[in-house]
């Protein structure tokens, strides 16, 4: 199965966008913490990206998302790893914490690295 024949390509694009945001520390600091947005009407933060992964069915069961928003077992495994790292940092920091607390967590770099790995697979 290739990316072009997932059933929900628009939702896949949202997943890719969320993973891209999770993979970029500079972006996170500028947009999530500094609230410096690229244009009026734009909004992004940590919670939004986590919610996108949940809405796309990737959070609860990446394997079940194959064919819908994910194209392969390899993508599902990478997303499963990303979600596991996200769950650890959320548990450590607290789900209601400000974005700056997530970025300051000693566990955050593992999230960024898992997101970079997933992004590479999702955008091949």
Q: What is the pLDDT of residues 40-93, one digit of tens each?
A: 999 999 999 999 999 999 999 999 999 999 999 999 999 999 999 999 999 999
> Quick one: CA dihedral 8, 14, 17, 21, positive or negative?
negative
Does the CA dihedral 68-73-48-27 come out positive or negative?
negative
Q: Calculate what percentage of the chain has a pLDDT beyond 90.
A: 96
CA–CA distance, 78 with 45 (Å, rounded to integer): 22
Quickly state the pLDDT bin for 5 (edges 50, 70, 90): confident
> What pLDDT score was predicted for residue 95?
92
Residue ranges per structural domain of the chain: 3-122
pLDDT of residue 29: 97
Query: What pTM, to 2 d.p., does this model score?
Result: 0.94
């Amino acid at each position: 199965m290739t990316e072009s024949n997932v059933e929900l390509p628009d939702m896949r694009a949202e997943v890719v966008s969320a993973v891209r945001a999770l993979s970029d520390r500079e972006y996170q600091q500028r947009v999530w913490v500094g609230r410096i947005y690229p244009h009026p009407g734009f909004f992004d933060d940590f919670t939004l990206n986590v919610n996108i992964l949940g809405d796309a069915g990737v959070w609860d069961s990446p394997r079940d998302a194959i064919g819908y928003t994910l194209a392969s077992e390899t993508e599902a495994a990478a997303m499963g790893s990303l979600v596991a790292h996200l769950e650890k940092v959320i548990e450590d920091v607290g789900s209601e914490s400000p974005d700056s607390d997530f970025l300051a967590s000693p566990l955050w770099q593992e999230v960024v690295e898992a997101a970079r790995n997933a992004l590479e697979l999702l955008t091949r």
